[in-house]
């Protein structure tokens, strides 16, 4: 794999093997993302919430618990339990056993299940959104560490350049063609480069600590990662296709749409609360009175047991004080969910336009740096060294060329990381882990 295709492999994940396979002991970006996602508590919490919401949705389909009753009547001895002992059911004239099963109005359970499942879908979308967010955080930390390491390498390269400059100045000073001022300025440039290294080391430590924290490792733990590439190949992005993906795959929009559907179904369910619920009762009555069991003692046919089935309805008589309040509250919940959905749509479309503009801007800058500024700054330093050696330019021009080379390279590295981060942000908007 070449440096030119390294960032493309990271951004679009189309490689057959991670870049880290070249450096076997380094932590690849893909592995870092997997490790953090597996241990991230925010992802785990949302996963549990989504599963809980799914189970609650299924609970809506469960029937209500039945009630069982057992009663006696027509006591021969009234309530004088002392003669036969307490709880002697043989004194009862009859014993009634019944089972009551309540049912909601047809359609309520299914609608409640559907609304609950929409809530579960909203949380599932939030799980995926959190995974993308965590992935983006890891990538940004990874890129910053890569930039800080690259800047340290640049500092070492700059030190070699200043050593060359000092050598040229010494030769000219010994030859008497320049004053001691040039030699002192050259040595001062070396010292300033050494001083700048301390800041770069601090930046590298901070970036390493940030990535280690995300990985659940000690802040100062040694960590080797893949290097920042020298060049990047740009990816063409179709704006219309990006907008289509935003509409179809943006996880925040998917979550908001699921919540809006759930709120609409809960509103319909609130209106259904005005419909009556009902219950079915089945009862068995066992008689102990001889007048019922003995044909000679009664003109009716002898019976010792009877059965009954009944259907009862529960009407919301006090709906003005109860159900209407629930309907009003559900209407406000639905309106809030609809407004949240519209807000998400506007925010994400605005964010997508900004992300595309940022990518275009960074792409343009990186192209200029790759094609013009980097080669020109390197050429300018080479020519400055030659011209200073032949006394065609002064030391300030030579120092300016060295400083310009450092600034150009450092800025280019930062632009590389910014482009990778911007592309990651673009992926989050279209629901893809780029």
List Cα–Cα distances, 322 to 19, 278, 391, 416, in angstroms: 64, 18, 96, 61
Q: Which residues of the chain are in CATH 1.20.1600.10 domains?
A: 41-64+106-196+235-274+320-429
Rounded-to-integer distance, Cα 17 and Cα 88, Å: 82
Which regions of the chain are under pLDDT 70? 1-25, 74-93, 232, 288-303
R_g (Cα) of the chain, nearest Å: 40
Rounded-to-integer distance, Cα 420 and Cα 131, Å: 18
List Cα–Cα distances, 137 to 15, 155, 316, 422, in angstroms: 22, 27, 53, 12
Residue-level length of the chain: 434
Count of CB atoms within 10 A of residue 260's CB? 21
Is 13 strand, coil or helix? coil
Q: Take residue 306 and report the two structure tokens written for it.
A: 């009877």
Is 231 strand, coil or helix? coil
The DSSP-derived string for 58-110 is HHTTSPPPPEEEEEEE--TTTT-TTTT-TT-GGG-SEEEEEEEEEEPPTTHHH
Is 283 strand, coil or helix? strand
Q: Take residue 162 and report the two structure tokens written for it.
A: 């200043």
CB 249 within 8 A of CB 432: yes
Give the CB-side neighbour count of residue 152, counting CA atoms within 13 A.
Answer: 17
Rounded-to-integer distance, Cα 365 and Cα 213, Å: 32
Rounded-to-integer distance, Cα 324 and Cα 301, Å: 53
Backbone angles phi, psi at 392, to 5 degrees: -90, -25
* Longest CA span, the chain: 149
Q: Are strands 67-73 and 277-287 parallel, antiparallel or unpaired?
A: unpaired
Rounded-to-integer distance, Cα 46 and Cα 152, Å: 40
Task: Compute CA 424 distance to the chain's CA centroid, rounded to the nearest angstrom.
Answer: 13
CB 412 within 8 A of CB 401: no
Bridge partners, 99 (sequence order): 68, 282
Q: Take residue 191 and report the two structure tokens written for it.
A: 């010292």
Rounded-to-integer distance, Cα 362 and Cα 422, Å: 9
Is 281 strand, coil or helix? strand
The DSSP-derived string for 336-360 is HHHHHHHHHHHHHHHHHHHHHHHHH
CB 31 within 8 A of CB 125: no
Edge to edge, the sheet with strand 277-287 lists 67-73, 94-103, 277-287, 305-314
Classify each residue of 347-367 as buried b or exposed e, where b means 16 or more C-beta atoms within 10 Å of its C-beta. Answer: ebbebbeebbebbeebbebbe
Give the CB-side neighbour count of residue 410, counting CA atoms within 13 A.
Answer: 17
Rounded-to-integer distance, Cα 27 and Cα 21, Å: 9
Rounded-to-integer distance, Cα 387 and Cα 400, Å: 13
Rounded-to-integer distance, Cα 227 and Cα 122, Å: 39
90 contacts: CB under 8 Å, gap ≥ 6: 84, 288
Task: Write down the architecture of domain 41-64+106-196+235-274+320-429 according to CATH.
Answer: Up-down Bundle (1.20)
| Tens-place pLDDT, residues 175-210 | 888 888 888 888 888 899 888 899 999 999 999 999
Place of tokens 């299940």: 113
């Amino acid at each position: 794999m070449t440096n030119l295709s390294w960032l493309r492999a990271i951004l679009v994940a189309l490689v057959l093997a991670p870049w880290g396979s070249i450096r076997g002991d380094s932590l690849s970006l893909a592995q870092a993302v997997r490790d953090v996602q597996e241990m991230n508590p925010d992802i785990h919490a949302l996963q549990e919430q989504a599963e809980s919401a799914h189970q609650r949705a299924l609970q809506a389909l469960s029937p209500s618990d039945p009630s069982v009753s057992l009663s006696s009547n027509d006591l021969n001895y009234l309530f004088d339990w002392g003669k036969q002992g307490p709880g002697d059911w043989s004194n009862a004239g009859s014993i009634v056993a019944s089972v009551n099963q309540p049912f909601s109005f047809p359609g309520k359970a299914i609608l409640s299940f559907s609304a609950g499942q929409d809530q579960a879908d909203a949380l599932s979308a939030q799980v995926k959104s959190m995974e993308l967010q965590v992935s983006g955080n890891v990538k940004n930390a990874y890129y910053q560490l890569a930039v800080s390491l690259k800047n340290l390498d640049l500092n070492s390269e700059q030190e070699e350049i200043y050593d060359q400059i000092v050598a040229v100045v010494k030769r000219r000073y010994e030859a008497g063609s320049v004053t001691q001022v040039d030699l002192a300025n050259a040595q001062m440039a070396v010292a300033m480069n050494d001083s700048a290294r301390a800041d770069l080391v601090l930046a590298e430590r901070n970036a390493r600590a940030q990535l280690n924290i995300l990985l659940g490792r000690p802040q100062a733990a040694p960590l080797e990662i893949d290097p920042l590439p020298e060049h990047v190949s740009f990816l063409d992005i179709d704006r219309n296709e990006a907008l289509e993906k935003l509409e179809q795959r943006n996880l925040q929009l998917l979550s908001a749409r699921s919540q809006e559907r759930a709120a609409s179904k809960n509103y319909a369910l609130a209106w259904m609360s005005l419909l009556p619920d009902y219950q079915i009762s089945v009862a068995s009555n066992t008689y102990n009175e001889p007048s019922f069991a003995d044909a000679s003692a009664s003109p009716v046919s002898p019976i010792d047991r009877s059965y009954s089935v009944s259907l009862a309805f529960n009407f919301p008589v006090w709906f003005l004080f109860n159900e209407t309040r629930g309907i009003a509250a559900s209407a406000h919940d639905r309106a809030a969910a609809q407004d949240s959905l519209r807000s998400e749509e506007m925010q994400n479309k605005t964010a997508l336009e900004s992300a595309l503009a940022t990518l275009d801007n960074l792409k343009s800058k990186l192209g200029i740096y790759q094609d013009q500024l980097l080669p020109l700054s390197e050429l300018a330093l080479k020519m400055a060294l030659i011209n200073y050696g032949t006394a065609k330019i002064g030391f300030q021009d030579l120092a300016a060329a060295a400083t310009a080379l450092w600034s150009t390279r450092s800025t280019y590295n930062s632009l590389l990381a910014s482009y990778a981060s911007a592309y990651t942000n673009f992926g989050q908007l279209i629901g893809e882990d780029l």
